[in-house]
Copies of this chain bind each other. A is one copy, B any other.
Amino acid sequence: MMFSMSMLSMSALDQDAYRHRRVMITGGLGFIGSNLARQLLELGAEVLLVDSLIPEYGGNLFNLEGVESRVRVNVADVRDEYSMRYLVAGQDYLFNLAGQTSHLDSMRDPFTDLDINCRSQLSILEVCRKINPGIRIVFASTRQIYGVPDYLPVDERHLLHPTDVNGINKMAGERYHIVYNNVYGLRSCALRLTNTYGPRMRIKDARQTFLGWWIFQILEGRPIEVFGNGTQLRDFNYVDDVVTALLLAGICDDMYGHVFNLGSEEFISLRDLAELLVEVNGRGEFHQVPFPPERKVIDIGDYYSDYRKIREQLGWVPTVPLREGLRRTLEYFQRHIDHYR
C-alpha cells in the first residue's frame, strides 16, 4: 500500500492493539485525521470520524476516497455538547485532532479561535469525564506553543510563550487535557506536532502550513514565495510518522498525563526546502519576497525539536526522509489536485 507506515515504525506498535477497538477521531476528515483513520482500518479498528466540515479548516470528504464504506462519519461540531455525548459513548479511544490551525486567522478573529481551541476542548473533556471516563485520549498539540525558541533544539522543558492567539489557545487546550488526566483520572496525553506534511493536507491556502501552499503553487506552475531571507530553520514530519506516534501514544498506559515533542533530525532552512521541493518536482521556481508584516510579527524564527523523550519512552522515530516524503506528497496531489483546490 502506497502510504502505509514504514516497517521500522510499525515494529514498535503491537499489531493487535487496535483490533476491534472503537476509535473516535475529531477532525477526522482532515489531513492527519483521515490518514490516521486509514491506518486504524488497516489495524482492524472500528473508526468513527467526527468533523465540522467548516470550510476554513482541514475537513475534506475526498480524504476518505476508497474507504468511505469502512468508516462511520458524523458531521458535527465539537462545541455541540449534545452530539458529543452521543458520539463519545462506548468509544475506547479518542484522537482529538479537531482544531483551528491558522495563526493569522486567530489574530483576525480571536474569539472563533478561542471557541474552537479552548471551549471545544473543555466541552469534549467534560463529556468524556461524565459519559465515558474509561476512554483513552490523545490530543494533537503543536510546537507553536513554545513561541520563539530560547534554545535549540526545543525539548519539553522549554518555557511556553506563544507568539499569537492561536498558540495561546492551543496551549490552554493541551493543558486542559493534562489537568483532566490529573484531576479526574481521565487518561489523556498530548503530542506537540511540528510541521506535518503529506497526502491529504490542506494546500489551497497556508492555513495549515506554508508548505501546503508551496506545494499548491508549484503544482499550479506558479513560483513559490519565500518570506525574508529564507534562512529560518524548520523541522518536518511526514504524516505517516505522525500517525505512528499517535497510535503509539494511545496504547501506552504509563504515558498518560505526559506531553511529547515530535520532530526530526532533518531540519532545513526555508530556502533550502524551496530548492528541494523544486528539485523533487522536477520543475518550478521560487523567489524571495519581503516578509509580510502581519506574519513577521508572529514568526518564531528558527525552530527544531528535541524529540528524545518520545524516542526513549515510546520507541518512536521518524522514518520517512524529507525528500521521499515530498516525492510521495507531490505524487498524491498531482493525481488528485482537483479535489484540493
Contacts and interface: CB of A to CB of B under 8 A. Distances in A.
Contact of A183 (B160, B164, B175, B179): B164
Given A114-B118, A118-B118, A162 B175 contact: yes
A168 B122 CA distance: 11
A116 interface: no
A278 to B, nearest CB: 33
In the complex, which of the residues A157, A161, A298 has the most CB atoms of chain B within 10 Å of its own CB atom?
Answer: A161
Nearest to A180: B165
Interface in A111-161: 111, 114, 118-119, 122-123, 126, 157, 159-161
Contacts of A161: 175, 178
Nearest to A174: B168
Contacts of A169: 172
Interface string A264-286: 00000000000000000000000
A-B pairs, top 3 by smallest CB distance, nearest first, are A168-B175, A172-B172, A110-B122
The majority secondary structure among interface residues of chain A is helix
A308 to B, nearest CB: 18
A111 to B, nearest CB: 6
A165 B126 CA distance: 12
Interface of A: 107, 110-111, 114, 118-119, 122-123, 126, 157, 159-165, 168-169, 171-172, 175-176, 178-179, 182-183, 297-298
A179 B168 contact: yes
Contacts of A297: 182-183
A179 B157 contact: no
A258 B171 CA distance: 19
A208 B107 CA distance: 32
B114 A119 contact: yes
12 contacts: A111-B119, A111-B122, A114-B114, A114-B122, A118-B172, A159-B159, A160-B160, A161-B178, A163-B179, A163-B182, A165-B179, A168-B175
